[in-house]
Amino acid sequence: MTRSSEPSLGARRRETGQAIVVMVVAILLALAMVGTIVDGGNVLAQQRVAQNGSDATAEAGAVILAERLAGAATPSGGWDLNIAARLAQTATANNITVEAAYYTDICGIPLQLDGSGAINLDRTENLAAALQVGNGTHVLPGGTATAPDCPNRLVGPVAGVLVVARKDVGTYIAGAIGIRSFRVNTRATAVAGYLQGYCDATEGHYCALIPLAMPVNQMLCDGSNKPIDTGDPWKFNVVYRVPLCGSQPGNVGWLDWDPPGGGAGEVVCSVLTPDNPAIDLPSWQYVTAAGNPNGGGGPCGMNIEDAIRTYEGMTVLVPMFDLTCNPKNNADPDSSQPAVITEPNYGCPAGDLGGNGTNQWYRMPSFAFFELCGPTVAGCNNLHGAYIQGNNSAECDTGSGATSCLVGRYLHIMATGTVGAGVGSGTGSKAIGVQLIK
């Protein structure tokens, strides 16, 4: 009897089953490889997005600490509650989840409730001991620390916010093998402090904030004395004759810190003794007059030209604007985050962006450190820092028809932070910047 060499039915089934297993494993391996490429690339991209969100959230908290440092009044509910609310608002806008946030000094060292450093013996941070933002008693770290020593881990007063956040990233391919999402963890620390290098940060020698707003781009006057935006930003260390055209929006504007009363009559006093409130960047500010006010006086008994010339040869802070808003029915634009940075209206009521005439709102995204010229200042060709009274075409007309102008050079632009009025023996404004340090 001859036996068949063909495999039995059971053997064929086993071979088929083994082939299916091998095929399934191969498919899973292929899915894992494709998932690694597709989902891994997406996770890397989302890591940057999440980090940007953490950076923005930490900066948002530091901006409120900058307001406090600038001398702003304590907000309703206290500083801690408002910082916690700002963090939550910014985190939501950036689609991240804040796991925890802690107070730090300007070195980025976490602080305990009593103001001491939340650090271990080996100088590593101890977040378990650090005071969280949004704590139960809604207080800031206390203590009497004044001068930090970063290399030696000696802490200073509260000045920053450390944010620990996460972002859950959904998968595309990896979901087929049961991996529904990846978690991206991020952290960022932002601090607020006095800017150095452009103004003397010693008490009494701060940059004075001049109550006028310059456009972010170079401007000219046309034949009808209307302002023209050239679209070109100002260059550093170049002496400009900044023209004061007519009263149309887009021209240099003179600010009223207490709208709507007072108007141009308050400008001279605000030039001589800066009295601005704490100003966040960006925010909307009220402009009482545009162009050349050609006068002044008021209770301080000096014209605007002479008042500005008292700062010749000195660096002053000048708000810069990029948009104007003319709300109806005495409404105010919204300077809160994220409205003030959200297109297309940036917090201006719908349909009210732009407009004509005086008594408008200007959006301030930055401040310029502006050195005013004077007859003894090098490179200024014996020009004064301001030509406002009467017709000064000989000094101001560079081909644009200007009859009045400010003369000086831009040294630096501050685009993040808060500027507050001088306090104590200071007669100028404190320039306070916000910086990411970790």
Per-residue model confidence as pLDDT tens digits over 43-60: 677 788 888 889 989 988
Q: What is the pLDDT of residue 220?
A: 86
Q: What is the pLDDT of residue 428?
A: 47
The closest alpha carbon to 212, from 279, 294, 287, 263, belongs to 287
Segment of 165-179, 238-252, 274-288, 360-374 carrying the highest mean pLDDT: 360-374
Rounded-to-integer distance, Cα 95 and Cα 133, Å: 19
Q: What is the pLDDT of residue 52?
A: 86
Residues 10-28, mean pLDDT to the nearest whole number: 59
For the chain, helix (H) and strand (E) counts, in that order, are 5, 19
Q: What is the pLDDT of residue 260?
A: 57
Q: What is the pLDDT of residue 341?
A: 86
pLDDT-based confidence at residue 348 (cuts at 50, 70, 90): very high
Residue 218 clears pLDDT 80, i.e. is over it: yes
Q: Is residue 165 within 8 Å of residue 26, measured between CB atoms?
A: no
Residues composing the chain: 438
Which residues sit opposite 410 in a β-bridge? 236, 370
Q: What is the pLDDT of residue 153?
A: 77
Q: What is the pLDDT of residue 412?
A: 78
Rounded-to-integer distance, Cα 268 and Cα 302, Å: 7
Rounded-to-integer distance, Cα 129 and Cα 187, Å: 18
Residue 201 clears pLDDT 90, i.e. is over it: no
Q: Is residue 171 within 8 Å of residue 181, measured between CB atoms?
A: yes
Residue 421 clears pLDDT 60, i.e. is over it: no
Residues 14-19, mean pLDDT to the nearest whole number: 57
Residues 6+ apart with CB under 8 A from 326: 249, 352, 354, 355, 356, 357, 360, 361
Q: Is residue 110 within 8 Å of residue 101, measured between CB atoms?
A: no
Amino acid residing at 176:
A
Give the model confidence (pLDDT) of 91-110 as tens digits: 998 889 999 999 998 888 99
Residues 201-212, mean pLDDT to the nearest whole number: 60
Give the model confidence (pLDDT) of 115-140 as tens digits: 999 999 888 899 999 999 999 899 99
Query: In which residue are the tokens 């401040």 written?
Result: 367
Question: Which is higher by pLDDT, 190 or 390?
Answer: 190
pTM of the model: 0.59
Average pLDDT of the residues of the chain: 78
Give the model confidence (pLDDT) of 391-420 as tens digits: 888 999 887 778 889 999 988 777 666 665
Query: In which residue are the tokens 């904030």 written?
Result: 209
Rounded-to-integer distance, Cα 310 and Cα 268, Å: 11
Q: What is the pLDDT of residue 118?
A: 92
Q: What is the pLDDT of residue 199?
A: 58
Residue 17 clears pLDDT 80, i.e. is over it: no
Segment among 20-29, 147-156, 284-293, 348-357 with least mean pLDDT: 20-29
Q: What is the pLDDT of residue 304?
A: 85
Q: How many CA atoms lie within 13 A of 73 on its CB side?
A: 4
Q: What is the pLDDT of residue 74?
A: 87
Residue 427 clears pLDDT 50, i.e. is over it: no
pLDDT-based confidence at residue 207 (cuts at 50, 70, 90): low
Residue 366 clears pLDDT 80, i.e. is over it: yes
The closest alpha carbon to 98, from 40, 176, 185, belongs to 185
Amino acid residing at 107:
C
Residue 289: exposed, middle, or buried by beta-carbon count in 10 A (0-12, 13-18, 19+)?
Answer: buried
Q: What is the pLDDT of residue 43?
A: 60
Q: What is the pLDDT of residue 204?
A: 40
Written as one string, the DSSP assignment of 381-435 is: TT--SEE-SS--HHHH-SSS--SSEEEEEEEEEE-SEEEEE--TT--SEEEEEEE
pLDDT > 70 in the chain, percent: 72
Per-residue b or e along 69-95, where b marks 16 or more CB atoms closer than 10 Å to that residue's CB: bbbbeeeeeebbebbbbbbbebbebbe
Rounded-to-integer distance, Cα 131 and Cα 139, Å: 9
Per-residue b or e along 388-421, where b marks 16 or more CB atoms closer than 10 Å to that residue's CB: beeebeebbbeebbbbbbbbbbbebbbebbbbbb
Q: What is the pLDDT of residue 11?
A: 53
